[in-house]
Amino acid sequence: MVEVISGEQFLAADGVGDWRVLDSGQVGTVFRTGSFDKGVDLVSRIGALAAAADHHPDVDLRYPSVTVRLSTHEVDGLTQRDVALAREISDAAAELGIEADPDGA
């Protein structure tokens, strides 16, 4: 069984400064891609990371941003799986030179 963590525990974790806890019980952020092509690149990386982790975020690609929301569906809340995937997604965005706008989530 996967252990549920609180929003505060999520935010206290290292490497999740790009993310905010949402009223829905999820965490989310907006990545300001600046172009549709960069957004597609980021979504592709998120897809690969999600597949590798067997953990699937909600992703919304629009010009000029990508919105990502995470939660662990099996527990209807947040877990360490969300922390790990959030870090990886933020790292992928940073590698592409894409900044997060967590307050836009």
- The full set of domains in the chain, from first to last, is 7-104 (3.30.1360.20)
3-class secondary-structure state, position 18:
coil
pTM of the model: 0.96
Which residues neighbour 20 within 8 Å (Cβ) at sequence distance 6 or greater?
27, 28, 29, 102, 103, 105
* Residue ranges in the chain assigned as alpha helix (H): 7-12, 36-53, 80-95
What average pLDDT does the segment 55-65 reach? 97
Assign 37 a pLDDT band (cuts: 50, 70, 90). very high
Question: How far does Cα 5 stand from its chain's mean position?
Answer: 16
CA gap 27, 71 in Å, rounded: 7
What average pLDDT does the segment 55-79 reach? 97
